[in-house]
Chains A and B, each alone.
Chain A
Amino acid sequence: MMSLTATDYIAALPQIFLLGMVCVLLMFAVFVKNGRDEVLHYGSLGTLAALAIITGELLRGHSIIAFNGMLIQDAMGDVLMLFAYAITAAIFVYARGYLKDRNLLSGEFYILTLLALLGAMIVIQGYNLITLYMGIELMALSLYTLVALSREDSRASEAAMKFFILGAISSGTLLFGMSLIYGLTGTLNIGILGAKLAATPAPGLGVWIGLGFVVVSMAFELGAVPFHMWVPDVYEGAPSGMAIFVGSVPKLAGFAFFMRLLAEGLGDLHGGWLWLLTALAVGSLFIGAVVAIAQTNIKRMLAYSTINHAGFILLGILAGTAEGYRAAMFYVIAYVIMFAGAFGIIMLLSRAGFDVEKIEDLRGLNERSPWFAFVMLMIMFSMAGAPPFLGFFAKVEVIKAVLDINMTWLAVFSVVMAVIAAFYYLRIVRLMYFDRADPDAPGIIATPDFKLLLSVNGLVLLGLGIFPGGLLALCKAVIGF
């Protein structure tokens, strides 16, 4: 039995620190009455800043496997966690005014969001299927409660119920697959599992069935077809301040889950899982592009856009090459930035007693606020994959990776689907610029930090689109195999 050393705790330091801060903030939320919102808001932002410093300090080239093979600290995980902190901080700023108007800005919002972030970090750093499972449970349980937080709203309760039941089935699937894998190989450690399966000439079908069940649960996490049914309902029913989190940080964790298990653990068995992921990717690209056209609710439309993006992320992973993994990582980072911006715009236009629901609510935004109409234009163009925005390079890299493994038909298919998807992104641009605004639409009210952050969010898409080299180099540096 190995004893724990300082290295173990250092590898888990960001998680330990976050848990400690969650407990401190929880005590604040319970006992402090005056100025509670301010303390929690700035306390949470400060926690995230400190976390970024800790993770940045720990960031180095080689990886450490800690806690008896339960946890890994490596550059890929650290970079994903840094982006998770940044997105969570942005969400706190975006959601504050929106939730305050709806009496939802309680201490629990901060606590639950930070606990969901902790779950995502555990998944990102997980090196054992048990760790990954526990991280996903922690994240998912926080998300169910976040969605249900608006108790008076029957649609939010319905969304939470659907999310909970489908999530419970997904957890059961994951556990079932894990038990098959454990029973047939005797290990849940990803490194040992990969080595064992690579050593046996042909892994038994039982292992493949177990793996299939695990992949089902991973696809659920990422929102890939045919396990996507929860995504539109949850985005539509949940308050936007919660939906923005559900759609962003967990995707970073879902990507890490795919990378840890399939790329790092079972990279040698690429031929075995290639077709599984291909089926998921083709379905996601198709449903995400075609069904979104019929949506009139902007949050449902963004949900199908998420599903479409999940298909592109899977394209990068299924290539099974280092270039493919890098492209997928680039894509998932680009996706969370675009997604946070899109929901930021929705919350900017919502106000007390009014939620932006219909696509028509964006009509004539250019007359009401030319600058934010332009920010939304950048986000939509980037999602559609138009140059020179970030989304363009993300799509190019992924498609290049697919072409490299000679799956030309899949590359062509994904381009066709991207073109179809461009239709509904451009429809929003048309509504904003070529339609008249509702004459009695009120002005846009938001705090300066909200406006500044949203502007930066849009400009990042343009800046990284013109100079994608930095982010590409970062993805290249951290995925080193």
Chain B
Amino acid sequence: MSPGAITYQALFYLFAAGIVFSGLRVITARNPVHSALFLVLALVNAAILWVQMGAEFLGIILVLVYVGAVMVMFLFVVMMLDINAATMRKGMTRYAPLGLIISGLIAAEIGWALWGHYLGIANTPHTAVAPAGISNTEELGRALYTHYIYVFEIAAVILLLGIISAIVLTLRWRPNTRRQDINQQLRVHKTSDHMRLVDLRDNSRGRKES
């Protein structure tokens, strides 16, 4: 193996280990804010892996959208909600043994599968190395808007559904909210429709008397 390939692999394992470590810390951190920050770290590591594989566009998008937008909002929510960590950990000791057994079983299964070289990785088709001069972004766009156009449209429908759901579940028509009613605002014709004159002298007299 050439030194370049060794460096490449070493970097891959470094960042892959980074993902695993920060993933573990997400679920073990005591403070929910720390959990969220570790999730950011995991995402940044994943973005680096993508860039290493030649998918720069996806790596940048991951950082911009997930780290930049989604996780920041997540942090806001975590900080705004007063999460009591103690009550959340109450059932921990009760469920821990069962959880450990199940995760142990899954780890053993995966380990056994990897150990025996049964995974069939030898049959894996290798991704072709893109020739120079082909833009990652352009190719992604091309695939998305031609080959995968049907699925792309379904994604659009899912976003529409997301908008409808978010509005349905959060919009409340409470009677006392001071909502802007544009219809009512436009119906104003005379000055007296939107201005009410109050005689202040009456008020001052009333105060004097009392």
Residues of A near any B CB (own CB < 8 A)? 1-2, 4, 12, 19, 26, 66-68, 70-71, 106, 108, 111-112, 115, 118, 122, 128, 130-131, 134-135, 137-138, 141-142, 144-145, 148-149, 151, 183-186, 200, 203-207, 209
Which stretch in B24-32, B37-45, B164-172, B185-193 binds the other chain?
Answer: B164-172
In the complex, the answer to whether A138 meets B158 with C-beta atoms within 8 Å is yes
In the complex, the answer to whether B120 meets A184 with C-beta atoms within 8 Å is yes
Distance in angstroms between the alpha carbons of A148 and B120 in the assembled complex = 44
| Most A-side CB within 10 Å, residue of B113, B122, B142, B164 | B164
The size class of the interface chain B forms with chain A is 20 to 34
Given contacts A68-B147, A184-B121, A203-B120, contact A122 B113 (CB under 8 A): no
Distance in angstroms between the alpha carbons of A447 and B121 in the assembled complex = 62
Q: Which single residue of chain B is at the shortest CB-CB distance from A180?
A: B119
Contact with A along B146-177 (1 / 0, CB 8 A): 11111100110110011011001100000000
In the complex, the answer to whether A206 meets B120 with C-beta atoms within 8 Å is yes
Distance in angstroms between the alpha carbons of A205 and B147 in the assembled complex = 30
Distance in angstroms between the alpha carbons of A351 and B150 in the assembled complex = 44
A438 CB to closest chain B CB (Å) equals: 37
Q: Which residues from chain A contact B119 at a C-beta distance below 8 Å?
A: 184, 204-206
Q: At the interface, is chain B mostly helix, strand, loop or mixed?
A: helix
B151's partner among A4, A70, A186 (CB-CB below 8 A) is A70
Q: Which residues from chain A contact B147 at a C-beta distance below 8 Å?
A: 1-2, 68
- Cβ of B123 under 8 Å from chain A: yes
- Cβ of B180 under 8 Å from chain A: no
Instruction: Sample 6 A-B pairs with CB under 8 A, ordered by A number.
Output: A67-B150, A68-B150, A70-B150, A142-B165, A184-B123, A186-B125
Distance in angstroms between the alpha carbons of A148 and B168 in the assembled complex = 9
A204's partner among B120, B149, B151, B158 (CB-CB below 8 A) is B120
Distance in angstroms between the alpha carbons of A279 and B26 in the assembled complex = 34
In the complex, the answer to whether A67 meets B161 with C-beta atoms within 8 Å is no
Residues of B near any A CB (own CB < 8 A)? 110, 113, 116, 118-125, 142, 146-151, 154-155, 157-158, 161-162, 164-165, 168-169
In the complex, the answer to whether B113 meets A206 with C-beta atoms within 8 Å is yes
| Most A-side CB within 10 Å, residue of B154, B158, B164 | B154
Given contacts A111-B164, A112-B164, contact A209 B169 (CB under 8 A): no
A195 CB to closest chain B CB (Å) equals: 14
A204 CB to closest chain B CB (Å) equals: 1
Q: Which single residue of chain A is at the shortest CB-CB distance from B116?
A: A205
B121's partner among A137, A138, A144, A204 (CB-CB below 8 A) is A204
In the complex, the answer to whether A115 meets B161 with C-beta atoms within 8 Å is yes
Given contacts A1-B146, A1-B147, contact A141 B161 (CB under 8 A): yes
In the complex, the answer to whether A70 meets B124 with C-beta atoms within 8 Å is no
Q: Which single residue of chain B is at the shortest CB-CB distance from A183?
A: B124
In the complex, the answer to whether B124 meets A205 with C-beta atoms within 8 Å is no
Q: Which single residue of chain A is at the shortest CB-CB distance from B122?
A: A204
Given contacts A145-B168, A184-B124, contact A134 B151 (CB under 8 A): yes
In the complex, the answer to whether B154 meets A145 with C-beta atoms within 8 Å is no
In the complex, the answer to whether A138 meets B120 with C-beta atoms within 8 Å is no
A71's partner among B113, B116, B150 (CB-CB below 8 A) is B150
Q: Which residues from chain B contact A4 at a C-beta distance below 8 Å?
A: 149
B118's partner among A144, A200, A205 (CB-CB below 8 A) is A205
Distance in angstroms between the alpha carbons of A207 and B118 in the assembled complex = 10
Distance in angstroms between the alpha carbons of A68 and B164 in the assembled complex = 30
